[in-house]
Each structure stands twice: as structure tokens, then as C-alpha cells.
Structure 1
Amino acid sequence: MTSLRPSHLAREHGISTQAVRNYERDGFLPPAARTPTGYRIYTERHAAALRAYLALVAAHGHDPAGRVMTALHAGEVDRALAVIADGHGRFLRDRDTLDQVRRAIGHLTAHREHPEVSGVRSIGELAHRLRLSPATLRTWERAGILVPARDRATGHRIFRAGDVRDAELAHLLRRGGYPLERIATVVEQVRTAGGTDELAAALDGWQQALTARGLAMLRAAARLDDYLRPGISPETWDR
């Protein structure tokens, strides 16, 4: 069994030796043996664990990656696999959301010149346009999907063209079965992009980011397989 110093593990990934020690402390690496003078002794198993953890971070994020590794080191393989499955589920939902947004943006863009989209609307007028109740629009407002201005004189909600666009996009996604919190995120991205035209141009970037995440998941799975290859029982990992 080859002995490695923290610097050996750190150098491979361009991180500090303190980071390696912290990862061991937090359970992301298996416990290291110590020399009589207290120095840590790492092995190729620790190096494989670090590769797996950092690959999981790139694919799933810091918190899920940490939960996977700590579950493995506690001997709870099924719990680790459940965390990974949740990440893949989110990935599939994000791909589906992107497809839904593409279709919704295409629909809204095709109708952007329609005269009914311009002007200022009351909550009742917008509800009538969408064939929804005003109570539904108020619920969407509480969820952060709609952010109408208020008339200074009356205090009534006023919905401008951008608000109508947001409501129509939300209506399309809601009919597709999306929960309100997820719709709120998508609509906020539309606002950040500045409108449907700008968002349509940004969708290719979203697609590239999703593709990169999918490839990162493949790499993480390979690294995790390398780590677990001696067997799924932690007791066998240093044999």
C-alpha cells in the first residue's frame, strides 16, 4: 500500500493541503492513519476518494457530494445512491423545463406583436384574458411569479406588457404541471434576460450548461466507480 502525503493529493487538484485535511475531517475522505509523530498517512484509496468527491461536486454541487461521501463512509450505500438519483432527477426536470420554456417562448414570440399584449391591465382584465380567476393571479403574485406595480391613487394592481408576458408564460408552464416555485424561477430568468427575445438567445447557453452538467455526471459516476471498485463495503477499501 503506497503512502501519500496531503501535498500529493492536493497537488493533483490544485487545492491546499488544508483543504485535503478539512475534507477528511468532514468525512468526505476515509480516516487517515497516523505516524507515531502524528502525521497523516494517505493511500491511493484516499486519492480515489478525493477524485470522486471533487467530481461529484462538479456534477451535483458541494452539499450533495458531501452527503454521498459521508453516507458511503458510514456504510450506507443506498442512501448515497438516493442522493445521486435525486441529482439525476433534477437534471431530467431541468432538461424538461428547458424544452417547455423553448416551446413557451416560441409561442409568446409568435404573438408578441398582437395588439392585446400592449397597454396596462387590471387584475380582472388579465384574469379574463387568461381565463383564470383573480385569486389565482394573486396566488402567483405571492409566489413571486408576478410583480405588478400599484396605481398610486387607488393602490390597485396594474399589469404592463412585461407582466402580461410573465403571466402567459406562467400559464403555459402551469398547464404543463410545473409547481409554482419552479415557475417563479423560470419567470425570473425571463426578467433577468430582459424579455422573450433575449431569453430565446440565451437558451443555447442554458443548453450548453446542461450538457456540461450531464458530462460531469458521467465523469463523477466513473470516479465513484473507481473508488468503489474494490467492493462496496468500507471495511475492504484498504485491503
Structure 2
Amino acid sequence: MRPSDLAREHGLSTQAVRNYEESGFLPPAERTPSGYRVYTAIHASALRAFVALIPAFGHARAGQVMVLVHAGSLDDVLLTIDRGHEQLLRDRETLNSVSRAVEDLTGFEPVLEPRSIGELARRLDVTPATLRAWEEAGILVPSRERTGYRTFTAEDVRDAELAHLLRRGGYPLARIALVVSQIRTAGGTDTLAAALTDWRRRLTTRGLAMLTASARLSEYLTAREQAP
């Protein structure tokens, strides 16, 4: 097989196929006496595996997996894939946390006037020290008056309510900061609720891509074992 034969199946350029070989994503090709590369069904299987790994784990991790395969480090290959699944699980847990928090905050009436740290602490039935700890963790970002006192806006109160819900659910501050950041970036719970469907769809797409990638990689590993 020529580089163009492999490239055509995936809509790639022949140079891309050569680059993948040089990067170790494909096994080394034999050469004709005139120096032309000669690819086989093994190379085609390797390219299918690499291309399938990209949407599942990202380009960098896909390349890392293929290099490890060709180095004979199967345990490291499986460890790399496990870490990808672990990341997907964490993303799903974060999505579910945000979804539940948005549902719990449905109907939340924002406070129109700014609140002091003491007033917000009394509203949530927590101590001011707790709110300062949340600020240190990046969960709350209150503004400061010229006197240095913190001022909490309606959005800050919303974030504090959300943090309070998640903290009662046992979530660590780092995870809560991530969730609150998602809502803050989206511009509020209403906007975020509309984005959750797309977020879940993308996670589902990645999960399905992982299934396909695992199948292609398994096919390649079997082909390598059966190769003369």
C-alpha cells in the first residue's frame, strides 16, 4: 500500500501519514530499493486506531497511546486509557452536580441591594470565616468598597447559595469552585440550564468515541500479535 492508499480512507494528506509514521503513531514502513514507503494492512489498522483515538482522548493522548503500543508498553497503554475514562467520569459528575444545583436554585430570587459579609453569612446560616474560605477558594468574588469591606451583589448571593447546596452535599471546595465558575461564565443559571443539554451531548459523544477507539485499538493489537 502507498501513503495515498492509507490517507484516502480518512481524508488525510499523504504527508500527514508520513508525519504520523515519523512521530511513532504508525509502525515503521518498509522501503523499496528506490526509497518509497511500503505500507501494509498492519499500518492501515494502526491508522484506524489512531484516528479513532483522537475524538475519544484528544490528539496528544492518542499519539501517546500509539507510541506506547509500539514501545511494547501495554500496561502504560491501558493506564493512559484508564485516565481518559477517569476524566470523563469526573466531567459527568461535575455536569450532574451543576444540573442538580440549577434545579435546586430554580425560582431563586436575587437580592437587588448589595449585602455585607455578615448579612450573607446570616442568610446562609454560616460564619463569615466560612465565606472568606470560599472566597480564598475562588468560589466567591465580591467587590470591595474603598474602606476594604466586601460587598456581595445578587450574582454573588446566587453563587453563595449554590456553594452552600454543594457543600452540604459533601463536595470539596475545589469542585465547588469549578461548578460555580461554570455558572458564572454562562451568565446565570437560566443560561447555564440551556447549555447543559449541549454539554451532556458532548460527553455522550466522547463516551461513544471511546467505545469505538477501544474496538479499533483492540483490532490493531490483535493484528500485531497475528502478524508473521
Question: TM-score, normalization: structure 2?
Answer: 0.89
Displacement after TM superposition at 1:188 (Å): 2.3
Match of 2:82 in 1: 85
Match of 1:148 in 2: 142
Q: Is the 8 A contact 1:174 1:180 kept in 2?
A: yes
- Which segment drifts farther, 209-218 or 129-138? 129-138
Query: 2: distance between equivalents of 1:212 and 1:93?
Result: 16
Match of 2:22 in 1: 25
Structure 2 CA distance for partners of 1:30 and 1:139, relative to 1, 3 Å? farther
SS for the counterpart of 2:223 is: coil
Displacement after TM superposition at 1:76 (Å): 0.8
**How big is each residue's C-alpha offset from its partner over 1:75-133, in whole Å with a ceiling of 9 and x where there is no partner?**
111111111111111212222222221111111113x12x7x44212233333433444
SS for the counterpart of 2:197 is: helix
Aligned-pair identity (%): 65
Query: 1: distance between equivalents of 2:18 and 2:175?
Result: 38
Query: 1: distance between equivalents of 2:36 and 2:173?
Result: 53
Matches within 5 A, 1:1-239: 4-110=1-107, 112-113=108-109, 117-151=111-145, 153-230=146-223, 236=225, 238-239=227-228
Query: 1: distance between equivalents of 2:26 and 2:226?
Result: 12
Query: 2: distance between equivalents of 1:185 and 1:62?
Result: 25
Residue identity opposite 1:150 in structure 2: R
Query: 2: distance between equivalents of 1:50 and 1:9?
Result: 8
Displacement after TM superposition at 1:52 (Å): 0.8
Query: 2: distance between equivalents of 1:137 and 1:34?
Result: 67
Q: Is the 8 A contact 1:45 1:237 kept in 2?
A: no
Residue identity opposite 2:155 in structure 1: G
Q: Which consecutive unaligned segments of at least 5 residues does structure 1 have?
A: none
Question: TM-score, normalization: structure 1?
Answer: 0.85
Structure 2 CA distance for partners of 1:160 and 1:48, relative to 1, 3 Å? same
Residue identity opposite 1:53 in structure 2: F
Q: Is the 8 A contact 1:119 1:160 kept in 2?
A: yes
- Which segment drifts farther, 120-129 or 216-225? 120-129
SS for the counterpart of 1:145 is: coil
Structure 2 CA distance for partners of 1:77 and 1:157, relative to 1, 3 Å? same
Query: 1: distance between equivalents of 2:21 and 2:226?
Result: 15
